[in-house]
Structure 1
Amino acid sequence: MTEGLTGWQFLRTGRWIAYFAAAVVFALICGGLALWQYDRGRQASADNHLYSANFAAETVPLTTALPTLTSYSPNQVWRAVSMRGHWDAGHQYYLRNSVRSGETGFDVITAFRLESGAMFLVDRGWVAASGSGAEPVSRPQPPTGTVDLVARLQASQAKRGEGGVNANQIESVDLSELAPVVGERVYSAAWGVIVSPRSSAEGLARIQATPPAEGVGYHYSYMIQWLMFVLIGFFVLWRAAVREFRRLNADDPEEQRREAERVRKRARKAFTDEEIEDESLDGYVSLSRWMGRAGPAIEPGAAPKPALTGTPIPFDASDEDDQQKPIEEHPSQHGHVLVLGASGSRAGEDEHAETDSRATDAPESAESAATSQNAGPDEADERR
């Protein structure tokens, strides 16, 4: 579809329009996810601010914070309220799968009967699970008598699992299910986490002593990642368009000049670790560094070419065609070709020295033979 087009005309083809549309859709999706993470980060920051403010706020009576049995506002979470009454040990429940410091156990939820007769559920603390994990290690009973209690408000939890009450164990503090089991007049929109009196003497661990903190930073980090995906998508599209432009305009003199300039810049760069490793294994650096195209590929399993190390390369004299032709041997060639290098230079020096010594001895032998023929009998006897 793009063959024969010049310049940037290929961008008007249907294929490249589809590419651009896909990049835009991808960017919109990533942008929407980035905004979602941004909103979650802002909400987490607002929640942390609310938790800290409610922890620092003064304690108010329960009847003031919750005028009716169904009163509750999400802004009241962790707000401290006071009440007076006594514990109802007959309505004590154990919240399963409650984790504290990496250990799984049970939160002990006990009904507190106010002086008005209404019932308010309170989390008295945490107890570890037994070895099997199916039961708490103990079932601490609440103290008797009148108690002045302070608790922090919590909203009714959503239903988990099958819900309901099974052997006084519950999956969540779902007040819509617990309220009918506890009695007629029960606060059905909120419950509390005990602040005082402390339940440590009863073998229960404290639930929440400091304001909880939601993670904020990771929401903003995810937002940045989604924005980076948008940039990466358009970068990939741009790179593909540039490569297509260079391919279609390879015969353009101006593009050839730019390609030559790119090759020169690439050749001036220092060798990378990968190129140095390739040279040590293959004996050469890819020609793409200087010529703008890939060098010769090595077939799988083929032996690497020898590097320029000065090692003698064996001379193959077994070829039939070479054996049929007369070869004029040079004194420095005796069955192999020498490659320049440290070891190759030493081998060449040794062979040249041997050749020179034979050449020096030959004239001396000829001169001695000539002298013997011209000498007289006396000189010959004396020489003998």
Structure 2
Amino acid sequence: MNTPSRAEVEPRRSAELVRPSLRRAGPVAVYDTVTEGMTGRQFLRTRRWFALIASAFIFAVACGFLANWQFDRGQQASADNSIVATNFAATPLPIEQALPTLGSYDPSQSWQRVSIAGEYRSDDELVARNRSNGGENGFEVLTPLQLANGSVFLVDRGWVAPSANDPLAPGSIPPAPTGTVEVAVQLRPSEAPQGSATAAGNQITSITLSRVQQEIGGDLAGAFYTGAYGVLTAQSPAAGAGLAPIQTTMPVEDIGTHYSYAIQWMFFGLLGFVALGLGMRSEFRRLNSDDPEERERAADRLRKRAKKPFTDEELEDEEIDGFLPLTRWGIAGGTARAISSPISAPAPSSAPAAVQSPEVFVLEAPPEPRPER
């Protein structure tokens, strides 16, 4: 082992950085069989970088499609809200005018008010289970209403809570009025089928009108409205209390969420190019680390970083730990602390000390004692 000379030991005792190469950290023994030896931006012509660039463009296109999809959903929600706002409080139309055929229904008729006169067929009453009202699951009571011309229209009379004795069964349901009644309803489309096609007793899982027609059976072939059913808003004469109304306020679809997602997808698409650019910059700096111009740029970046004021986090770490990592100045390993003014170098036998360098203040321990030969 070679004994360090006095000229090497003295600077160490005064806390100086003997080797300038320690002032910045660089990649050590980093080899890439594809790009090693390349200079400038030649690495961009490799297959790997072609793939990365293509991936960034494909990702951006996918994000663009998703952003456009969310934007379209936002526009559709806005159009739906406009339709509901027009229909919700409009004057009721006679059912013959609103639904000229048994299968009639158009999305523009969502929540349209309709007036009907007829008699309830209470014996054919059904209940739809797993229906929420105010955060509680219960049942919706569905009673067919037979018109004077013999056709039958399904009326959703309201919501009832589960029975106290059996949560799988509805509670007490007030009977529908007898005789001729006049009702005002709001149109809703037939629901998509879900669950079992067979009703358990008089319970169904979805208000799918074709299934309801099959469940009721009897003389309804060719006489049942299968395009839409109605949510009751008023009737005369009134029924007994016990059913909660289905919809008391105008439903509004959330538009902002769709537009927010559209903006997020566009941001993600741009973020892919940002990541690609950062990767290109990092690779360029690595491959051109020996280029004089790039080394000068790296030194300039290091000088700017060293001149930045200490952050609150760094000051807090220095106060707690008594030192800062030298990575702030591009030095791999070691610690440092900031001082407000230059101080003189301590005597050789003293503890570690800090001195002012042209750019940073570095704290370095004295070398371990070596046996003299």
Question: Shared topology, TM-score over 0.5?
Answer: yes
What is the TM-score when the length of structure 2 is the normalising length?
A: 0.77
| Structure 1 residues 203 and 6: alpha-carbon distance in aligned structure 2, compared to 1, 3 A threshold | same
Alignment of 1:1-384 (within 5 A): 1-131=34-164, 132-182=166-216, 183-184=220-221, 185-197=223-235, 201-280=240-319, 282-290=321-329, 292-296=330-334, 337=350
Unaligned segments of structure 1, at least 5 residues: 298-304, 309-331, 342-384
What is the TM-score when the length of structure 1 is the normalising length?
A: 0.75
- After superposition, the C-alpha distances for 1:314-373 in whole angstroms (9 at most, x for unaligned) are xxxxxxxxxxxxxxxxxx99xx956789xxxxxxxxxxxxxxxxxxxxxxxxxxxxxxxx
Alpha-carbon contact 1:175-1:188 (below 8 Å) kept: yes
Unaligned segments of structure 2, at least 5 residues: 1-33, 340-346, 355-373
Residue type at the aligned position of 1:164: T
Query: How far 1:201 sits from its partner (Å)?
Result: 3.5
Query: How far 1:176 sits from its partner (Å)?
Result: 1.0
Residue type at the aligned position of 1:267: A
**Normalized per residue, which structure has more helix?**
1
**Which has the larger Rg?**
1
Alpha-carbon contact 1:54-1:77 (below 8 Å) kept: yes
- After superposition, the C-alpha distances for 1:10-38 in whole angstroms (9 at most, x for unaligned) are 11111111111111111122111111111
Q: What is the CA RMSD across the aligned residues, in angstroms?
A: 2.5
Alpha-carbon contact 1:80-1:153 (below 8 Å) kept: yes
Structure-1 separation of matches of 2:303 and 2:229: 75
Partner of 1:368: none
Alpha-carbon contact 2:137-2:161 (below 8 Å) kept: yes
Structure-2 separation of matches of 1:161 and 1:203: 28
Aligned residue for 2:247, secondary structure, equals coil
Query: How far 1:277 sits from its partner (Å)?
Result: 4.1
Residue type at the aligned position of 2:162: A
Residue type at the aligned position of 1:191: Y
Alpha-carbon contact 1:89-1:111 (below 8 Å) kept: yes
Query: How far 1:216 sits from its partner (Å)?
Result: 1.1
Partner of 1:315: none
Aligned residue for 2:280, secondary structure, equals helix
Query: How far 1:143 sits from its partner (Å)?
Result: 1.0
Structure-1 separation of matches of 2:173 and 2:187: 24
Alpha-carbon contact 2:305-2:328 (below 8 Å) kept: yes
Residue type at the aligned position of 2:41: W
Residue type at the aligned position of 1:175: L
- For CA contacts below 8 A with separation 6 or more, give which structure has more relative contact order: 2
How many residue pairs match? The answer is 308
Alpha-carbon contact 1:164-1:171 (below 8 Å) kept: no
Structure-2 separation of matches of 1:211 and 1:73: 19
Residue type at the aligned position of 2:284: F
